Amino acid sequence: MPQTKPFDVHWLLAHPDAQRATSAISEPVKARCTFKPRICDVFQADYTGLTTKEQFRFEIDPEARRQLPKIINNKVQTVVKLPSPDDAFVQGYTRPRRIGIVFSGGPAPGGHNVIAGLYDAAKRANPDSRLFGFLVGPDGIIENEYVELTDDLVNAYRNLGGFTMIKTGRTKIDTADKMAAAKATITSLKLDALVVVGGDDSNTNAAFLAQELYSDSVQIIGVPKTIDGDIQVRDADGNILCAMSFGFHSAARAFASAISNLSNDSSSDIKYWHICRVMGRVASHLALEVALQTHANLTLIGEDLADYVDEQRLAAARAAESVDYTAYGMTLRHLSRVICDAIVRRAAVGKNYGIVVIPEGILEFINEIEVFIIKLNTIIAQYNATHDQDFHASFPLLEQKLDYLRHLVRDTPSGLAPNIWNARDDELFNDLPTFFQEGLLTERDSHGNFQFSQVPTEKVLLDLVKDYLKILRDQGKYKIGIHKHYYSKILSQDELDPEYFGPILFRNYGEDEYLLVKERVISLRTLKNELIQARAIGKDAPIPPVIEKIYKKSVPNFKTQSHFYGYDGRGTDPTLFDCTYTYNLGLTVFSLIANGATGQMASIRNLEHGFELWEPMGLPIAPLMRLEERKGKLTLVLEKSLVDINSPAFQVAKTYRDKWLAATSGDDQYRRPGPIRLHSDKEEDRPITLLLNAIGQGK
């Protein structure tokens, strides 16, 4: 082997181009850090005020009124320019403030810009104001762990993804001890305000902190964060006040970009079905946006499946003069049939490949599984409430957990509904594969949420799909269509008459472009029988090789690749939309603080429209709260929003379902959204879901 000449590595490392190329701070990162997002016109003013908007009203849960009396009467406020405020206002607005900020829950692209916006606005109002970032989520507040935010620190993270600057965590401030510790930190740091950047559970935390710290005059402001897109706020009359939490667009674009690359690969080597589970805990917003971005062949939407009615069963029951309640809602088995149907239809036109998108929370919408999740949540919560040890610590092994469940069949402890786990549950549960049992029994998060991200849902479905496809193959219903020109060409090459053999081999010869081998031909033996019966060959003659070749081509080999898109997209750098949205959220937070608000969540109205219409606001958190089952108890939390199957965006995706499945002889319809670009006038300015909903709602 020729040897390269030895060279001086130190000289190479000192070379400016080599230094640039090997620096941990890449050129795109440098460009991001210096990028300045556009700011809403109102923030051009030196001073901003708040105007109360009485026209937006909410239906208030009595429990929220009882538990959050000090902030329940908060109203919607919009941020307005104050061109010439009086001296007293200016003094209050510009006084030096001490503000704490914390990230809570999963990371979401854009979080750093919330900090940057707040930092810039606070320092602009008074350079002596000080900001503190609590480390590793709410634990930082409880344990008094923080870092002071400085120009250098903030500048190093502008427009960058992750929550790397101060990290995040999922601890809930839900006990008197934790609340007291949080209060002690806030008091020792002499904070005027605390900003909680988080999802539904974290904004719930924010509301309780606002209630608790009301008399201490510490202001608490929430910020709607979560890639799941399930924080969307409407008032009681349906007016949209917050169309989407931040981070959703970036995560969806990252997932879509990766999935669209898969569709490129898949439609090139045409041999794999890619099964893509995408994050989003319960709601299927991310899956819907990914469908709109990529035109994947099949995208399941949980909320749509929940609405499913099996008309055939209903009709059968009606004929027997009875009612079949099991006809309402989707079962796992039925869902696997839906997937198989798509696979079989594409195979029939020669496409034995494709892309399926499955939302991670789909199990929540499958009747039988949802019942298991609810029952197990209750059983685990009851165990934890009555024993000194946590359920998972007491029963670390799956077999031990299953034993505990079996014991419930015989003997229900007090505190649980009788028969909560009956023999039928036990039987059904034991039929599930081990990895799925483990998934369903997995530890709930600190807020009592089922951890969908830990369950390989796609694996469960794939097993069922594979089983059913095998049945369909044995029945001769799952076949690869053979193009008629190819068939004619290779038969003619072997000097056989395609017109003669066509009707013998195929069920649709002369009718369609893609030819389907007859259902009863499911092996070389049955093929030979078919040829003998048609007198195409004699009893002892071999199958002509070219006919055998055609038959073998028609036998599908179902090959899959499974993917999970979650943490990667959650850590992506924010899109231009999220950069701009979050920076303006940070500016909004400061306006709320400077104007004395507490128990409010910063929001930008009209995100679904163009930037010129964006309107910074404060939304009252307490009136948005509802009772939800958590850890076996009804608990007050910020209401989550699910995909509305009547929304224009969903209806568009539904209308295009068949087109995107592309079970026709034409080309696939894949859309290539491309990677996330910050510096491009071609970058889309908002999620497609928002755009379609805005157009559809007639604006």
228 interacts with ligand FBP by CB under 6 A: yes
Looking at the Cβ atoms of 192 and 228, the one nearer to ligand FBP is 228
The verdict on 378 binding ligand FBP (CB under 6 A) reads no
How many positions of this chain bind ligand FBP (CB under 6 A)?
16
Residue 228 annotated as catalytic: yes
Least distance in angstroms from the C-beta of 570 to ligand FBP: 5
Cα 230 to Cα 223: distance, rounded to the nearest angstrom: 13
Q: Please report, in angstroms and rounded to a whole number, the separation of the first and last CA atoms in the chain.
A: 70
432-451 binders of ligand FBP (CB under 6 A): 445
Asked if residue 227 binds ligand FBP (CB under 6 A), the reply is: yes
**Which range binds ligand FBP by CB under 6 A, 100-108, 124-132, 491-499, 505-513?**
100-108
* Binding flag, residue 453, ligand FBP (CB under 6 A): yes
Nearer to ligand FBP, 226 or 352 (CB): 226
Does residue number 553 form part of the binding site for ligand FBP (CB under 6 A)? Answer: no
Site for ligand FBP in 280-309 (CB under 6 A): 280-281
* Residue 224 touching ligand FBP (CB under 6 A): no
Are the C-beta atoms of residues 58 and 624 closer than 8 Å to each other? yes
Q: Restricting to residues 165-184, which ones interact with ligand FBP according to CB under 6 A?
A: 170
Nearest distance in Å: CB 111, ligand FBP: 10
Look up residue 283 and give its amino acid.
Answer: A
Check residue 624 and report its DSSP letter: G
Alpha helices in 213-310 (DSSP H): 248-269, 285-294, 302-306
Q: Which regions of 506-624 does DSSP assign to beta strands (E)?
A: 514-515, 560-565, 600-605, 615-620
Minimum distance, C-beta of residue 157 to ligand FBP, in the bound complex (Å):
18
CB of 282 to ligand FBP, least distance (A): 8
- Which DSSP category does 693 fall into? H
Stretch that binds ligand FBP, among 178-186, 221-229, 573-581, 678-686 (CB under 6 A): 221-229
Q: Are 583 and 109 in contact (CB under 8 A)?
A: no
Q: Kindly state the DSSP code that residue 494 receives in the 8-state scheme.
A: T
CB of 144 closer than 8 Å to CB of 188:
yes
Please report whether residue 199 would count as binding ligand FBP according to CB under 6 A.
yes
Q: Report the residue number, 133 or 566, with the smaller CB distance to ligand FBP.
A: 566
Among 64, 108, 197, 366, the residue binding ligand FBP under the rule CB under 6 A is: 108
What phi and psi values does residue 171 have, to the nearest 5 degrees? Answer: -65, 140
Out of 279, 505, 594, 690, point to the residue binding ligand FBP (CB under 6 A): 279
Residue nearest to ligand FBP (CB): 105
User: Which one of the listed residues 61, 174, 192, 228 is annotated catalytic?
Assistant: 228
**193: exposed, middle or buried (Cβ count in 10 Å: 0-12, 13-18, 19+):** buried
Helix, strand, coil share (%) of the chain residues, nearest 5: 45, 15, 40
DSSP label at 69?
Answer: T
3-state secondary structure 320-365: CCCCCHHHECECHHHHHHHHHHHHHHHHHCCCCCEEEEEECCHHHH
Q: Which stretch binds ligand FBP (CB under 6 A): 103-111, 136-144, 253-261, 263-271?
A: 103-111
298 and 354 Cβ atoms separated by less than 8 Å: yes
Residue of 257, 270, 258 lying closest to 668 (CA atoms): 270
Q: Please report how close the Cβ of residue 259 comes to ligand FBP at its closest, in angstroms.
A: 16
CA distance 197 to 104: 6
Coil vs helix vs strand at 620: strand
Q: What is the nearest approach in angstroms of ligand FBP to the Cβ of residue 692?
A: 22
Instruction: Give the separation between CA 128 and CA 130, rounded to whole angstroms.
Output: 6
- Candidates 37, 49, 100, 106; binder of ligand FBP (CB under 6 A) is 106
Q: In the bound complex, what is the minimum distance in angstroms from residue 377's beta carbon to ligand FBP?
A: 16
**3-class DSSP state for residue 672?**
coil
Long-range CB pairs of 6-10 (<8 Å, 24+ gap) are none
- For residues 162 and 354, which CB has a smaller minimum distance to ligand FBP in the complex? 162
Closest distance of CB 201 from ligand FBP, Å: 7
How do beta strands 77-81 and 98-103 pair?
unpaired
Candidate segments 274-282, 422-430, 462-470, 594-602, binder of ligand FBP by CB under 6 A: 274-282
Q: Which of 446, 526 has the CB closer to ligand FBP?
A: 446
Angle at 20 between CA 17 and CA 22, to 5 degrees: 110
- In the DSSP assignment, the letter for residue 571 is T
To ligand FBP, the closest distance from the beta carbon of 234 in angstroms equals 19
Q: Does 472 bind ligand FBP (CB under 6 A)?
A: no
Residue 102 makes contact with ligand FBP by CB under 6 A: no
Residue 636 near residue 626, CB atoms below 8 Å: yes
Q: Furthest-apart CA pair in the chain: how many Å? A: 107
- Identify which of residues 191 and 624 has a Cβ nearer to ligand FBP in the complex: 624
Q: Which of 253, 570, 631, 686 binds ligand FBP (CB under 6 A)?
A: 570
Nearer to ligand FBP, 106 or 586 (CB): 106
| Choice between 255 and 509, CB closer to ligand FBP | 255
- Site for ligand FBP, rule CB under 6 A: 105-106, 108, 170, 199, 226-228, 279-281, 360, 445, 452-453, 570
Q: Which residues are catalytic?
A: 228
